Amino acid sequence: MKILMVLTSHDQLGDTGKKTGFWLEEFAAPYYVFKDAGADITLASPKGGQPPLDPSSDTDDAQTDDTKRFKSDPAAQKELANTAVLSTISADEFDAIFYPGGHGPLWDLAEDSDSTTLIETFSASDRPVGAVCHAPAIFKHPKNADGKPLVSGKKVTGFTNTEEEGVGLTDVVPFLVEDMLKENGGEYRKGDDWASFVVIDGKLVTGQNPASSAEAARELLRLL
């Protein structure tokens, strides 16, 4: 059971002068769900190497059991510091692909042609594709064989407009995940803001927010 986890390489929060990147819990929780199930995990990012961590996800009040476990796991830290360059990855080697969120993916992974090709390849071969929180931004460009957006007619979720409003970044982000999924024909669903909410449609698994990370990973495993 081989799972590819793809992280952002983008660290600038628009033109605010603040930093962004991946959200620690959204990486750590799925990583350990997969690890504890015996999966062989490969980490990749557009630029390779150490992906940028969103500093907001590393504050004391953002810590969870999984983030604490990661902080005391030198092997996992080493793995994260040495992500593979995304363009070198072959979809043939993996059984599933999973994207942790954070605001970073809105800028790089949403527009990354290597990522788009991987998602289209996994989907066309009926292998699970998972994304949580802001990571469903990756569905902006992937298409089905018929040329329609990959999420068209599919039940999906992702960070809500009201959650984005709650963190005060509605006017900073390049697009809103909820709006984009709807514009691409997705049947967008949402639960309560900040509560775990996961949607499965065929082999597509999407989680709404950080709290949904572990559940989204468990659902992806179930599909395997």
What pLDDT, in 10s, does the model give residues 112-136? 999 999 999 999 999 999 999 999 9
pLDDT in tens, the chain (224 residues): 999 999 999 999 999 999 999 999 999 999 999 999 999 999 999 999 999 999 999 999 999 999 999 999 999 999 999 999 999 999 999 999 999 999 999 999 999 999 999 999 999 999 999 999 999 999 999 999 999 999 999 999 999 999 999 999 999 999 999 999 999 999 999 999 999 999 999 999 999 999 999 999 999 999 99
Q: Which domains does the chain have, with CATH numbers?
A: 2-223 (3.40.50.880)
What pTM did the predictor assign? 0.98
Pairing of strands 204-207, 198-201: antiparallel
pLDDT at 44: 98
